Amino acid sequence: MNLTKKALSQALKTLMGQIPFEKITINDVTNEAGVSRNTFYYHFSDINDLLSWTFDNEIVNGLESYEDLETWKDGLLSVLNYTEENRKFCLNTFHSINRDQLEIFLYDITYGMLISIMDQSYDEKILKKELKLQIADFYGRGIVAQVIHWLTTRLEEPKDDLITRIEAVTKGTIELIVQNQD
């Protein structure tokens, strides 16, 4: 991972722990990171680009190994751990005009995991591709809503309970859909 990008990312996270995202300037980030504005623009087009890169590189890039039946819960736990450890950063993103970036970040993770799990569990004859996409979209959005609710309610529910509930509802419903197909 590029050390300069990582330093800029860490600077953004530090600043977001103190002030709202909308009030952070590129000058603030570069001063915190100890680099020039030109260096910032060499790596990122704007602060939103840096925010997206931070989410992608701190959590998304390591999740490919969790997209199967045996490990998907570990992947979700990894996302919840990141959210918990970076709560101020995630909440600041959620309460900013970039709320959609947090939701997209979480959605992409859950959607990919759901598609992978269904692909491993059901072939095309049992569960058509279009139906898999619809299920992943619907439950991906539902899981995102649950994670955001968990984040905004001060992480009150234990992570293991949240994961168990998500697994029970999702797995049970997918199995029911498969059984009730015409």
pLDDT tens for 54-82 read 988 887 766 777 777 778 888 889 889 99
Q: What is the distance between the alpha carbons of residues 21 and 13, in angstroms, rounded to a whole number? A: 10
pLDDT per position as a tens digit, 28-46: 999 999 999 999 999 999 9
DSSP state of 108: H
What pLDDT is stored for residue 41 in this prediction? 98
Q: Which domains does the chain have, with CATH numbers?
A: 3-46 (1.10.10.60), 59-179 (1.10.357.10)
* CB-based contact 16:47 (threshold 8 Å): no
Q: Of 3, 5, 2, which is closest to residue 41 (Cα–Cα)?
A: 5
Transcribe 42-104 into DSSP letters: HH-SSHHHHHHHHHHHHTGGGGGGG-STTTHHHHHHHHHHHHHHTHHHHHHHHTSTTHHHHHH
Q: For position 46, what pLDDT does the model report? A: 97
Q: How many CA atoms lie within 13 A of 12 on its CB side?
A: 26
Prediction pTM value: 0.84
Q: Is the pLDDT of residue 97 over 70?
A: yes
